[in-house]
Amino acid sequence: MPHLDQRLKVVAQQIRCVTHADIGSDHGHLLKALLASGRIQRGIAIENKRQPYENSRSTLTGFNADVRLADGLEGLDAGEADSLSICGMGGELIVRILDAHPDRVPATAIIQPNRRPERVREWALRTGYHLTHETTAQGHWRYIILRFERPKTTEQSGQVHPDPAYKGLDREAALLFGPHLLRHFSNDFAESLEQERRYLRSLPRLAADAVRRLEVIDRIL
Ligand X SMILES: C[S@@+](CC[C@H](N)C(=O)[O-])C[C@H]1O[C@@H](n2cnc3c(N)ncnc32)[C@H](O)[C@@H]1O
Note the residues at the interface with ligand X (CB under 6 A): 23-24, 26, 46-49, 52, 71-72, 87-89, 97
- 3-class DSSP state of 97: helix
Instruction: Give the residue with the Cβ less far from ligand X, 6 or 186.
Output: 6
Nearer to ligand X, 1 or 200 (CB): 1
Q: How far is the CB of 30 from ligand X (least distance, A)?
A: 7
Name the burial class of residue 174, with classes exposed (0-12), middle (13-18) and buried (19+) by CB atoms within 10 angstroms of its CB.
buried
Cβ proximity to ligand X, 88 vs 172, nearer residue: 88
Given the complex with ligand X, which of 108 and 166 has the nearer CB atom? 108
Helix (H, G, I), strand (E, B) or coil at 2: coil
Could you give the C-alpha distances from 72 to 126, 127, 177, in angstroms and in order? Answer: 20, 18, 26
Q: Whose Cβ is closer to ligand X: residue 79's or residue 139's?
A: 139
- Least distance between ligand X and beta carbon 14 (Å): 13
Burial label, 196 (beta-carbon count in 10 A; 0-12, 13-18, 19+): middle
Q: How far is the CB of 54 from ligand X (least distance, A)?
A: 11
CB of 91 to ligand X, least distance (A): 13
**Rounded distance, CA 172 to CA 152, Å?**
27
Shortest distance (Å) from residue 90 CB to ligand X? 9
Residue at shortest CB range from ligand X:
24
Helix/strand/coil for 75: helix
